[in-house]
């Protein structure tokens, strides 16, 4: 058992890392757990008040289930991590850890590492709840107020729930995983959810065919052979209602449908206008001077190339009202469409269309004086040999 205010841990398989390191640490009376995943750093904060929040990258902070007491014990449950690698998963590079102290737990095939973060209600030493018989205390420390903090671990065979989540999330057709040459070729998905049973994070390392690899060589138009092609690119229509924390409808966000034939050179990235996005303010739902942020919302305006669409598609949007202006941001998402079984004419069997849309974070704002605003949604597209 390790006693310090900082603790890093990851699973290994056959002596090699099977997932990235998660870091647990304490600052005064706050407890944190963090790791890098798809979309940026995932961070969970456990506050002295009992509130628990999570945030990934630049997304809004999300409130999870608060600390939950185990029966008559003095221990409260904060979070459970489940590392669910597969035999096909890419492996992170241990060199990135440098000289930092870390702990590893070997897990066999078809097994998962389960970590539970517990927080006591007092300064007294007390035994673990009966739920954790057979587990091992991997880390123990104390907050500034003296309450104990522990990370409990065990290795178990993979169950149906973990297997289903892993298999489903690693079969998405290259949606949202973008790495460049030199980043080590590793990414993991952090699947958060919570219910009356507690807070859970499934840590799922991605297999190689999930990567949308942007090779630096493709960014230089003069370094590749230019073969001309014309492709039909379209975007579906979608309308979402944006609501304030009090439930009031404050705006609608519309993605207008479009279809166009565009010219591409193979192995050369092209900036294209995919569609228009329109924000319409509903002033009657807003209170001047009242500031708020919304949680993330989905927009299912599905893009297509040569009639083929990515599965499970969604844009992620966030809205913020500063008391006078409503700002909406749409985060970039990347995906790759492949010509499988002749499903995409004009695209070779060994080719794919790699798309990032929007090409950078899209910002659209509306005000009381100008309640409607339209902006183009730009995308970056690349017809290339499969990576």
171 contact partners, CB below 8 Å, separation of at least 6 = none
Q: How confident is the model at residue 225, as a pLDDT?
A: 39
Residue 331 confidence (pLDDT) above 90: no
When pLDDT is averaged across residues 337-346 and rounded to a whole number, the result is 80
φ, ψ (nearest 5 deg) of residue 281? -80, 140
| pLDDT tier for residue 221 given thresholds of 50, 70 and 90 | very low
Q: How confident is the model at residue 89, as a pLDDT?
A: 82
Give the highest mean pLDDT range of 143-157, 161-175, 345-359. Answer: 143-157
Cα 124-125-131 angle, rounded to 5 deg: 120
| pLDDT tier for residue 96 given thresholds of 50, 70 and 90 | low
- Strand, helix or coil at 116? strand
Residue 222 confidence (pLDDT) above 50: no
The strand pairing partners of 203, in sequence order, are 83, 190
Say if CB 371 and CB 281 are below 8 A apart. Answer: yes
Cα 89-380-321 angle, rounded to 5 deg: 90
What is the gyration radius of the CA atoms in the chain, in angstroms?
24
Q: What is the pLDDT of residues 234-281, one digit of tens each?
A: 999 999 999 998 899 999 999 999 988 887 878 888 888 899 999 999
Q: Report the DSSP pairing between strands 6-13 and 103-106.
A: parallel
Cα 23-170-45 angle, rounded to 5 deg: 25
When pLDDT is averaged across residues 89-104 and rounded to a whole number, the result is 72
Q: How confident is the model at residue 234, as a pLDDT?
A: 92
The strand pairing partners of 101, in sequence order, are none
Residue 11 confidence (pLDDT) above 60: yes
Task: Tell me the percentage of the chain whose pLDDT exceeds 90.
Answer: 48
Least reliable range by pLDDT among 33-37, 107-111, 186-190, 248-252: 186-190
Least reliable range by pLDDT among 39-43, 88-92, 181-185: 181-185
| Sequential DSSP letters for 308-340 | B--TT--EEEEEEE-SSEEEEEE--EEEEEE--
Taking the C-alpha atoms of residue 241 and residue 319, their distance in angstroms, rounded to an integer, is: 11
When pLDDT is averaged across residues 36-60 and rounded to a whole number, the result is 84
Q: How confident is the model at residue 134, as a pLDDT?
A: 77
Least reliable range by pLDDT among 15-19, 175-179, 290-294: 175-179
Strands (E), 158-281: 178-180, 188-195, 198-205, 212-214, 228-235, 238-243, 249-255, 258-265, 270-281
When pLDDT is averaged across residues 168-189 and rounded to a whole number, the result is 55
Q: How confident is the model at residue 71, as a pLDDT?
A: 80
Is the pLDDT higher at 147 or at 345? 147
Taking the C-alpha atoms of residue 89 and residue 59, their distance in angstroms, rounded to an integer, is: 26
Q: How confident is the model at residue 171, as a pLDDT?
A: 62
């Amino acid at each position: 058992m390790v006693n310090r205010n900082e603790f890093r841990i990851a699973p290994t398989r056959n002596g090699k890392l099977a997932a990235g390191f998660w870091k647990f640490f304490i600052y005064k009376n706050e407890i944190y757990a963090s790791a890098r995943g798809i979309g940026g750093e995932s961070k969970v904060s456990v506050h002295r008040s009992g509130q628990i929040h999570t945030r990934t990258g630049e997304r809004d902070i999300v409130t999870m289930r608060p600390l939950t007491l185990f029966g008559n014990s003095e221990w409260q449950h904060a979070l459970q991590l489940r590392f669910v690698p597969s035999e096909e998963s890419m492996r992170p590079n241990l060199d990135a850890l440098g000289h930092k102290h870390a702990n590893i737990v070997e897990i066999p095939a078809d097994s998962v590492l389960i970590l539970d973060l517990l927080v006591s209600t007092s300064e007294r030493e007390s035994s673990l709840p009966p739920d954790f018989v057979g587990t091992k205390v991997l880390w123990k420390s104390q907050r500034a107020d003296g309450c104990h903090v522990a990370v409990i671990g065990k290795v178990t065979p993979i169950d149906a729930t973990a297997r289903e989540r892993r298999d489903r999330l690693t079969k998405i057709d290259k949606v949202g995983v973008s790495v460049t040459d030199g980043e080590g070729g590793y990414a993991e998905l952090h699947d958060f959810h919570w219910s009356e049973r507690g807070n859970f994070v499934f840590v799922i390392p991605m297999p190689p065919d999930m990567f949308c690899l942007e090779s630096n060589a493709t960014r230089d138009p003069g370094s590749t052979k230019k073969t001309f092609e014309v492709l039909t690119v379209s975007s579906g229509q979608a309308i979402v209602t944006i609501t304030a924390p009090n439930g009031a409808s404050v705006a609608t966000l519309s993605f207008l449908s479009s279809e166009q034939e565009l010219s591409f050179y193979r192995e050369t990235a092209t900036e294209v206008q995919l569609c228009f996005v329109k924000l319409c303010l509903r002033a009657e739902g807003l209170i001047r001077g009242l500031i708020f942020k919304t949680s993330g919302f989905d927009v299912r305006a599905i893009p297509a190339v040569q009639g083929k669409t990515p599965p499970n598609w969604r844009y992620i949007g966030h809205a913020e009202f500063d008391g006078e202006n409503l700002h909406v941001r749409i985060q970039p998402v990347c995906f790759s469409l492949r010509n499988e079984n002749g499903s995409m004419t004009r695209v070779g069997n060994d080719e794919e269309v790699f798309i990032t849309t929007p090409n950078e974070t899209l910002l659209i704002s509306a005000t009381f004086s100008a309640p409607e605003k339209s902006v183009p949604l730009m995308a970056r597209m690349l017809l290339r040999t499969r990576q």
